[in-house]
A = this chain, B = another copy of it.
Amino acid sequence: MDRARNIYNSGLDRRPANFTPLSPIGFLARAARAFPDHTAVIAGERRFTYRQFRERCHRLASALALRGIGRGDTVAVLAPNVPAMLEAHFAVPMAGAVINTINTRLDAANIGFILDHGEAKAFLVDAELAPVAAEALKVARAKPLVVRIDDPAVSPSDFGDIEYEALLAEGDPSFTPVPVADEWDAIALNYTSGTTGDPKGVVFSHRATYLNALSNLPSFRIAPNPVYLWTLPMFHCNGWCFTWSITAAAGTHVCLRRLDPATVFDLIERHGVNHACGAPVVLNLLLHAAEITKTRPSRTVDFVVGGAPPPAALLEKMERLNFRITHGYGLTETLGPSSVCDWHSEWNEKPVIERAALMARQGVPTYGIEDLTVVDPVTMAPVPADGQTLGEIVVRGSTIMSGYLKNAPTTGAAFAQGWFHTGDLAVMHPDGYVEIRDRAKDIIISGGENISSLEVEGVLYRHPAVLEAAVVARPDARWGEHPCAFIALKPGESADAATIIAWCRTNLAHFKVPRTVVFGPLPKTATGKVQKHLLRERARAL
């Protein structure tokens, strides 16, 4: 086409009035304007309206700016789901800076590495985490401004340069946020542990977070003014962007310092919670507690499960507990949700087992994703939509990370051939829905046959005595590898290896049946993911 002849190519340029950088910061301005007196935050006895929430964010942004923190600076936060953590999601970018939330279960060495690698200029630390933060600061070269976040639930200390509320008092409640210069500018830095070597710093743009936050609303059926319980750590991909999504919808953020099932059920009833998110382990925890205490929420809670493939048996039980589950899938690099198992109303007619199996699939792209599909990792050709042929999930869209900080080679590899490579092995079903069969590294190859650890775990989860199960490859002289099952039993239940193996033989092809069964608690990451690399080491050492 001759560009010069195109009548749309002149006089129709981007201008300040029609091209505003996309940024989730504006969601707070909108909510505070439309719903100033609506409860924005509940944390124990503390409550903030949207007017107060905005003012506190303005104060923090202003105080950071007064201390010289601005564009391109990193502000690290080590805190559970407390108001300051939420406020930082708006205040830090309002100062032009980049928010770096840190996994609260990391050790001092890892935290120190992150402070140095991200070059943190400020470090907000919940008082409860002061000891590990102090250790981290000893090993780190970075010398950030250290801000202690006190909390009524934590005994006072004198850690840090200043207490959070004192810092807020320095700031201006009518501060004007630093304008976003370019929507591609960084807003968030999230370290992912990966499985090898040092953590990688995943960088997100204002554009990506805006689009993912907005996309979450229709993708997860969030109506205006939701009441959202923070069962998912905010340090996890910025709470899958729900920090910004729930604010966009002028919702109520119900904070949660730690995941105690009794507290969760109490908060659901007390505040009329209707939305929450978390990994399958969260559901497991709630389910187990509910079975003991015979608790059942009196209203339906919309729960987005993700972070690991949920066993169908678990989904089935949560439905009876009045949780309406939506299954999302994503990685830190996709800012949380990049696919959703969109529900078909006609599936409601199916038996609960079938419904749960349909729901356990990772599904189709969210509204914010351009494409998510399954390809042959070598040829990049789409696998046939037969529900059988294994390939790698690849993703493309404007909600994907900008890249890994200071790590061009790994960034380049992750984005090879125009797609983000997830490393998850999956099949494409005939109906266009993706289903993960395994992480590339978790697949078990026995006698030349691929065995999905997830499939075996799904069978184990259906056994009445099993609380949690994880299956990994164990070296096998004859078969190369064989499935090795690690099982945590429900309190008060008992089962031995023979029982478990017999159960599996009834429900699985024989070559998929674990030949080794180990009982005991499973090692987990901060986000509740089972640490299979540790189990693999154990299996090798058996």
Q: Which residues of A contact B (CB under 8 A)?
A: 1, 3, 5-9, 11-20, 22, 26-27, 29-30, 33-36, 38, 70-72, 74, 96, 98, 118-119, 184-186, 203, 208, 211, 214-215, 217-218, 221-225, 248-250, 342-345, 363-365, 367, 370-371, 395-398, 400-403, 405-408, 411, 415, 418-420, 431-433
Q: Which of B6, B35, B218 is within 8 Å of A222, CB to CB?
A: B218
Copies in the complex: 2
Tell me the complex Cα distance, A463–B184, Å. Answer: 55
Query: Most chain-B CB neighbours within 10 Å: which of A18, A33, A71, A342?
Result: A18
Tell me the complex Cα distance, A433–B18, Å. Answer: 22
Closest B residue by C-beta to A411: B11
Q: Which of B72, B184, B370, B371 is within 8 Å of A1, CB to CB?
A: B72
Is there an interface contact between A20 and B396, defined as CB atoms closer than 8 Å? yes
Closest B residue by C-beta to A414: B17
Q: Which of B203, B218, B398 is within 8 Å of A20, CB to CB?
A: B398
Shortest A372–chain B CB gap in Å is 10
Closest B residue by C-beta to A405: B7
What residues of chain B lie closer than 8 Å to A225, measured between beta carbons?
A: 345
Tell me the complex Cα distance, A395–B15, Å. Answer: 12
Tell me the complex Cα distance, A416–B371, Å. Answer: 39
Secondary structure of the A contact surface, majority rule: loop
Tell me the complex Cα distance, A398–B19, Å. Answer: 5
Q: When A and B form their complex, which 6 residue pairs have the shortest distance between CB atoms, in order from nearest?
A: A6-B72, A8-B186, A18-B400, A12-B402, A20-B370, A16-B418
- Asked if A186 meets B12 with Cβ closer than 8 Å, knowing A214-B218, A214-B367, A218-B214, the reply is yes
Is there an interface contact between A8 and B418, defined as CB atoms closer than 8 Å? no
Is there an interface contact between B208 and A18, defined as CB atoms closer than 8 Å? yes
Q: Which of B1, B18, B344 is within 8 Å of A420, CB to CB?
A: B18
Closest B residue by C-beta to A186: B8
- Asked if A432 meets B33 with Cβ closer than 8 Å, knowing A14-B184, A249-B218, the reply is yes
Is there an interface contact between A70 and B367, defined as CB atoms closer than 8 Å? no
Tell me the complex Cα distance, A36–B344, Å. Answer: 11
